Structure 1
Amino acid sequence: MTEPGASEGSNDERPFRDPDALLRRAGVRGDPDRDQHFLVDDRVLDRIPGYLPADADASHLLEIGGGTGALTDRLLAVGDRVTVVERDPTLVGFLRREFADEIASGRLDVVEGDALDVPLPAFTACVSNLPYGASSEIAFRLLPRKKPLVLMFQKEFAERMVAEPGSAAYGRLSVSAQHYADVELVEPVPPEAFSPPPAVDSAVVRAVPRAPAYEVDDEAFFLDFVKALFTQRRKTIRNGIRNTTHITGIDDPEAVVDAADESLLRKRAGKLAPSQFAELAALAADRGRGGDGG
């Protein structure tokens, strides 16, 4: 876990809006059936923007799932401009009324729609309490943009994102997330921080983009290859390659197996580092796909 960075408490000129008062003014209540849990703990809300890297460009912050604006209010204190994407029409209307001055000044834009469907702006960083039901899809829409991210997830999901090879939590999510960024679980958040409290613990993850320490020529194939081998995680890599041609599109798995290092073929997916997946994926693309290589 990491303490918040320099941006914490950067706005001493005005008090932040009280999250419980925002809920009352909005006249809404969270709905677990709709994946709606409002973050209402002031201390957590105050800390979250501070997890942005100290050198992060805060000229245009993106927030997905603005809710009643408790986090939005704090992002306006550290960002020059904020865009909020919110799918609930009632909450969109409330945000536009509550933050009318910020919208009029051009500092805030409220976009109505699903974050998986609407065009995203050219943001410089994203700070969000994501809807948990779509957190994976949203995260993998954001990660390829290669911008700093501070995102709230279910704790189990967050632990899988940051897991190391050989650990029980390590899997496809770990390799895919770490392909794009250095990811770190920076704060666990208990259910009591939300209204209504969810049935699971939560956690804040920071993702700092960086190039991977290995070469990947075909990123889509690399990610599909990782996905394929983790569907066979209890089998050796040798058998995983043979059994997943319907996912990878490999025409000649035996050519890949024959060319691969025996020490890798004997391992299972949960033991391979991302660089080893990249090595095997490059070999599979070269040797296993018709017309793509020798």
Structure 2
Amino acid sequence: MTGGPADDAAPTAGERDPDALLARAGVRGDPARDQHFLVDDRVLDRLPGYATEIDADLRHVLEIGGGTGALTDRLLAVADRVTVVERDPDLAAFLREEFADAIRDHRLTVIEGDALDVDLPDFSLSVSNLPYGASSEIAFRLLPHDRPLVLMFQQEFAERMAAEPGTDEYGRLSVTAGHYADVEVVEPVPPGAFSPPPAVDSAVVRTRPRDPEYDVPNDDFFLDFVTAVFTQRRKTMRNAVRNTAHISGLGDPDAVVDAADEDLMGMRAGNVTPAQFAELATLAWEVGEPT
């Protein structure tokens, strides 16, 4: 790894060139390690804007997967404070060197470690180009914090997060993400925006936290119930509830089926709305003897 810009004045926040950052860091992306660095200036410049246009709180922005700091640089230009989580020790060291002034001014904190394991700060917003291999787990670690998120995903994953009932993309992911927030795909991103280019298209998702339009007796049970039923999405709800008690934790799935609305039991999960799932999960909580 080569040194940072120690001989010159530190670049103004928001003006660092992503290719120059790669060169200074002396690294190349490694698909085998899920490393695809976002290098398209236009996309990088737009990412913070997806937060500012909804008046998101910029007091403390969390970035997962800082890489060589191209997005970190843009975030420092608009945020009061930024915390970056980076699992690669060499990249974490480079970030500390490249952004030494921001660290010294207490505007940047670099946490070295896996985003699924480290203690996350009390952030006000997250803007991140997530490592795709762990994007689902990271997203569902962030969503319960009830903070706006601007996250980069594989396009297929992004479309599933935002899908509506009755569409091919609608599934467990759609219901679970929608339980925490309004979800929208705000920009498709081609492979050429990354170095090296991934084998799939990407997309930027923006989430805005809100309370769901239904009540459930227990969030964890509701989400487990939805997950269970969608493992048999081709079956009717009647069969799906009966066949997945080992996942949902129901002690008496037959009691749920017998007490539920007959028309709902004849539907398939892909056509069941989140509110209908909530109604059925509430019934299952009451009569299904959950463990």
Q: CA deviation at 1:15?
A: 5.4
1:1-294 paired onto structure 2 within 5 Å: 16-52=15-51, 53-289=53-289
Whole-Å separation in 2 of the counterparts to 1:120 and 1:188 = 28
Q: Point out 4+ residue stretches in structure 1 off by more than 4 angstroms.
A: none
Quote the Cα distance in structure 2 between the aligned partners of 1:255 and 1:75: 53
SS at match of 1:150: strand
**2:110 partner letter:** V
Gaps of 5+ in 1: 1-12
Summarize deviations over 1:1-53 as a string: whole Å, max 9, x none.
xxxxxxxxxxxx76510000000000000000000000000000000010015
What is the aligned length?
A: 279
**Residue identity matched to 2:244:** T
Give the SS at the match of 1:78.
coil
On the 8 A contact 2:36/2:197 being kept in 1, the answer is yes
Partner Cα separation in structure 2 for residue 151 and residue 15 of structure 1: 19
Residues 175 and 274, structure 2, Cα contact 8 Å, conserved in 1 = yes
Query: Aligned equivalents of 1:181 and 1:171: distance in 2?
Result: 16
Is the CA contact 2:14–2:73 (under 8 Å) kept in the aligned structure 1?
Answer: no
Amino acid corresponding to residue 152 of structure 1 in structure 2: M
- Secondary structure of the 2:158 match is helix
For residues 116-166 of structure 1, the C-alpha deviation after alignment (integer angstroms, 9 at most, x for no partner) is 000000000000000000000000000000000000000000010001101
Distance 1:250 1:87 in 2: 38
Q: Please state how far the C-alpha of 1:56 moved relative to its aligned partner.
A: 1.0
CA–CA distance in structure 2, aligned partners of residues 129 and 283 of structure 1: 39
- Structure 2: stretches of 5+ with no match in the other structure: 1-11
Deviation at 1:54, TM superposition (A): 2.8
What SS does the corresponding residue of 1:185 show, helix, strand or coil?
Answer: strand
Counterparts of 2:175 and 2:126, CA distance in 1: 21
Counterpart residue type for residue 17 of structure 1: R
Give the Cα separation in 1 of the matches to 2:262 and 2:157. Answer: 32
Which amino acid in 1 is paired with 2:208? V
* Distance change in 2, residues 1:219/1:15 (3 Å): closer
- In the other structure, the counterpart of 1:5 is none
Q: Report the Cα distance in structure 2 between the residues aligned to 1:93 and 1:252, rounded to whole angstroms.
A: 54
- For residues 261-287 of structure 1, give each alpha carbon's deviation from its aligned partner in whole angstroms, at most 9, with x where no partner exists: 111101000000111111000000100
CA distance in 2, matches of 1:162, 1:90: 35
SS at match of 1:277: helix
Q: After the TM superposition, which of the residue ranges 257-266 and 182-191 deviates more from structure 2?
A: 257-266
Query: C-alpha separation between the residues in 2 aligned to 1:253 and 1:161?
Result: 28
Q: Distance in 2 between matches of 1:76 and 1:54?
A: 18
1:235 and 1:71 map into 2 onto residues whose CA distance is 44
Structure 2 CA distance for aligned equivalents of residues 229 and 33 of structure 1: 33
RMSD: 1.1
* Amino acid aligned to 1:24: A
SS in structure 1 opposite 2:22?
Answer: helix
Is the contact made by 2:13 and 2:77 (CA closer than 8 Å) also made in structure 1? no
Under a length normalisation based on structure 2, what TM-score does the superposition of the two structures give? 0.94
State the distance in 2 between where 1:201 and 1:281 align: 35
| SS of residue in 1 equivalent to 2:68 | coil
CA distance in 1, matches of 2:111, 2:274: 36
2: CA distance between counterparts of 1:165 and 1:106?
Answer: 45
C-alpha distance 224-87 of structure 1, shift in aligned 2 (>3 A): same
Letter in 2 for 1:192: G
1:215-261: CA deviation from partner (whole Å, max 9, x where unpaired): 01200000000001001100000011110110111111121111101
Query: Are the equivalent residues in 1 in contact too, given 2:64–2:86 (CA < 8 A)?
Result: yes
Question: Mean Cα displacement is larger for which, 248-257 or 177-186?
Answer: 248-257
Identical amino acids, percent of aligned pairs: 73
